[in-house]
């Protein structure tokens, strides 16, 4: 067989995988490897660096949401949201011992009030960078998806108002920095590296398991209207990979006595993260479809943006945090 023939067959195989997975898999794998290396490096250097890295990702996610919402005429106060994110995440981590939860509980309503006030201001225009990003996103948008969007339905009677901007600004504050605070809380306690692995890598393993099982065995659609690629088999694969990941972290971190008394925790986390992570993916897909866009951003190649990569992580974080707190791990 000639070299050109083998190359054509390899390209056809990759195209087939990309179509079934719904993304550029070689790019996704390469981007994922870079992210893993970056996170591991931050954890090895210092937990403080990891916290700053989480804050950076949240800020990028907010900027991507700013562009996404601007495609339908909604404006959010990105500077206020960035300031709120920095106060919440850094303040929660650097709060005195025993006061991390207290600071988070106080900072959140204050941040929401500030974001709501800034969101109520009238925004007249976008800067050039955001306008170019919006134009690029709209030029790549699928016509059918734009038609599906409730914001573009002429019969819906929807009009963007100041109240809309406030509501979406509050949603952004709750979706990004508030959920990310539950990533910060466990790394401020004992076993910060293990907790970071639970919070970041286990949901990511769930995404991988869902993707592999869905592409390989997926027959029964989970929610065809919201996400045609999601399947029941993918959900089961996600739970399996989450369980294996949680079990590995558990065995490498805790002593025999802890394992004997809390052997059920990896199983609980596997099922919980698999289900909640998939729900987070579906929520992000529903948001994309309602906005009439293909992805949430364009920063991470092959992943469609920071939120496409972190939706399951953000949604799972509060539940993982609660399990770790209740079980004393």
pLDDT for res 129: 65
Other C-beta atoms within 10 Å of 291: how many?
24
The whole-angstrom separation of Cα 168 and Cα 163 is 9
- Contact criterion met (CB below 8 Å) for 57 and 310: yes
- Contact criterion met (CB below 8 Å) for 43 and 316: no
pLDDT for res 181: 92
* DSSP string for residues in 138-154: HHTS-HHHHHH-GGG-T
**Per-residue model confidence as pLDDT tens digits over 228-258:** 677 777 788 888 988 999 899 888 888 888 8
The position carrying tokens 């070299």 is 3
More confident residue, 123 or 275: 275
pLDDT for res 180: 92
Q: Domain count of the chain?
A: 1
Determine, yes or no, domain membership for 107: yes
Question: pLDDT class for 328, splitting at 50, 70, 90?
Answer: confident
- Averaged pLDDT, 54-80: 88
Determine, yes or no, domain membership for 139: yes
Determine, yes or no, domain membership for 247: yes
The whole-angstrom separation of Cα 172 and Cα 65 is 8
Tell me whether strands 227-231 and 221-223 are parallel, antiparallel or unpaired.
antiparallel
pLDDT for res 11: 54
Determine, yes or no, domain membership for 22: no
More confident residue, 89 or 309: 89
User: Lowest mean pLDDT: which of 40-54, 183-197, 212-226, 275-289?
Assistant: 212-226
Whether pLDDT at 327 is above 70: yes
User: Lowest mean pLDDT: which of 45-54, 88-97, 199-208, 292-301?
Assistant: 292-301
Whether pLDDT at 178 is above 90: yes
- Contact criterion met (CB below 8 Å) for 192 and 183: no
Determine, yes or no, domain membership for 10: no
Q: What are phi and psi of 97, to 5 degrees?
A: -55, 130
Q: What are phi and psi of 215, to 5 degrees?
A: -70, -30
Helix runs in the chain, H state only:
3-21, 25-45, 47-70, 78-94, 100-119, 128-139, 143-148, 162-173, 179-187, 192-196, 202-217, 232-253, 256-261, 265-291, 306-327
Determine, yes or no, domain membership for 21: no
The whole-angstrom separation of Cα 22 and Cα 264 is 34
pLDDT for res 52: 92
Whether pLDDT at 86 is above 90: yes
Contacts of 187 (CB under 8 A, 6+ apart): 47, 50, 51, 93, 195, 196, 199
Determine, yes or no, domain membership for 63: yes
pLDDT for res 173: 92
State in Å, rounded, how far the first CA of the chain is from the last one: 57
- Contact criterion met (CB below 8 Å) for 183 and 202: no
Query: Structural domain of residue 257, as residue ranges?
Result: 35-327
More confident residue, 191 or 218: 191
pLDDT for res 153: 56
Average predicted confidence (pLDDT) for the chain: 79
pLDDT for res 136: 66
Global confidence as pTM: 0.82
pLDDT for res 30: 67
pLDDT for res 45: 86
Instruction: Dihedral sign for Cα 109, 52, 90, 318, please.
Output: positive
pLDDT for res 288: 79
Determine, yes or no, domain membership for 24: no
- Averaged pLDDT, 91-104: 88
- Averaged pLDDT, 87-103: 89
Whether pLDDT at 158 is above 70: no
Enter the tokens of residue 185: 């809380």
- Contact criterion met (CB below 8 Å) for 26 and 13: no
Contacts of 66 (CB under 8 A, 6+ apart): 76, 78, 130
Instruction: Dihedral sign for Cα 153, 159, 165, 166, please.
Output: negative
- Contact criterion met (CB below 8 Å) for 228 and 221: yes
């Amino acid at each position: 067989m000639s070299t050109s023939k083998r190359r054509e067959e390899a390209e056809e195989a990759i195209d087939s995988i990309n179509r079934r997975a719904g993304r550029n898999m070689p790019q996704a794998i390469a981007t994922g490897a870079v992210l893993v290396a970056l996170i591991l490096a931050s954890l090895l250097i210092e937990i403080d660096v990891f916290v700053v890295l989480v804050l950076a990702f949240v800020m990028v996610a907010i900027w991507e949401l700013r562009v996404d919402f601007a495609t339908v005429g909604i404006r959010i106060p990105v500077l206020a949201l960035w300031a709120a994110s920095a106060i919440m995440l850094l303040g929660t981590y650097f709060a005195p011992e025993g006061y991390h939860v207290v600071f988070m509980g106080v900072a959140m309503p204050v941040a929401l009030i500030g974001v709501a006030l800034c969101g109520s201001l009238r925004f007249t225009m976008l800067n050039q960078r955001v306008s170019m990003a919006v134009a690029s996103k709209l030029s790549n948008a699928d016509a059918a998806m734009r038609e599906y969007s409730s914001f573009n339905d002429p019969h819906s009677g929807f009009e963007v108002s100041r109240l809309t901007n406030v509501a979406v600004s509050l949603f952004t504050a709750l979706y990004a920095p508030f959920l990310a605070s539950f990533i910060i809380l466990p790394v401020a306690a004992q076993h910060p590296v293990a907790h970071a692995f639970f919070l970041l890598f286990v949901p990511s393993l769930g995404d991988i398991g869902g993707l592999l099982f869905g592409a390989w065995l997926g027959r029964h659609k989970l929610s065809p209207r919201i996400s045609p690629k999601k399947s029941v088999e993918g959900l089961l694969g996600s739970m399996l990979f989450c369980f294996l990941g949680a079990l590995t972290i558990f065995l490498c971190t805790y002593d025999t006595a802890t394992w004997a008394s809390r052997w059920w925790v990896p199983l609980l986390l596997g099922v919980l993260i698999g289900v909640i992570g998939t729900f987070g993916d579906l929520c992000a897909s529903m948001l994309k479809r309602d906005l009439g866009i293909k992805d949430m951003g364009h920063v991470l190649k092959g992943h469609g943006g920071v939120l496409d990569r972190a939706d399951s992580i953000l949604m799972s974080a509060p539940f993982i945090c609660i399990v770790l707190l209740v079980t004393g791990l």
